[in-house]
Amino acid sequence: MKIEKYIRDIQGFPKEGILFKDITPLLINPEARTNCLRILVDSLEGKKIDKVVGAESRGFFFGTLLAQELNAGFVPVRKPKKLPYDTISASYELEYGSDSLEMHTDAIKKGDRVLIHDDVLATGGTAKAVCELVEKLGGEIVQCNFLMELTFLNGREKIKEYPVFAALTY
Ligand code: AMP
């Protein structure tokens, strides 16, 4: 079964010039979802993971499935002011200006082996900020994995010190 069949391209969403990769057809199909999860888990080659860190918001879907499968904790990284407890934050550049992401201060323990997950690796700014948060709390990044990598945006370059895996590349 080819999982690329379950990624829908939406031209011009959320704004002109963007080809949005919609994962809802993948989420709605249990067989495709299981297959995709298997590909992501297999890429870890049995490596022990203590925490899976998912980036808001589409990183939460497969992030929690991965955590369940790996018997690991799940940690949400969120946009500013969404998390209720004490947080640390990291900024990243956008096309115009910058934004930041937050994580709870007690989410990662020193020495935790961490898998970072998001749906799409584009410019790599989001993933880089998530890596910074994990390392601030002393976590060890085992892999950054994605459902898709948009290779023409060179996101891999921003997180080149970590192993990177993407189930699909465009
Ligand atoms: P970046 O920080 O540029 O690597 O962007 C990655 C984040 O933006 C991820 O959380 C994605 O969900 C989202 N994203 C970026 N480009 C796309 C795209 N073409 N389709 C869907 N989501 C995208």
53 CA to middle of ligand 1, Å?
16
Distance from Cα 121 to the centre of ligand 1, integer Å: 6
CATH topology for 46-169 is Rossmann fold (3.40.50)
Q: How far apart are CA 155 and CA 4, in angstroms?
A: 20
Among the atoms of ligand 1, which is closest to the Cα of residue 59? 10
CA distance 147 to 120: 6
Give the DSSP H/E element, type plus range, for residue 71.
none
- Active-site annotation, residues: 58, 95
Per-residue pLDDT of the chain (170 residues), as tens digits, is: 899 999 999 999 999 999 999 999 999 999 999 999 999 999 999 999 999 999 999 999 999 999 999 999 999 999 999 999 999 999 998 877 899 999 999 999 999 999 999 999 999 999 999 999 999 999 999 999 999 999 999 999 999 999 999 999 99
What is the predicted pLDDT for the residue at 162?
98
* Per-domain boundaries in the chain: 46-169
Q: Is the CB of 131 under 6 A from ligand 1?
A: no
Give the pLDDT confidence of 14-37 residue by residue, as tens digits: 999 999 999 999 999 999 999 999
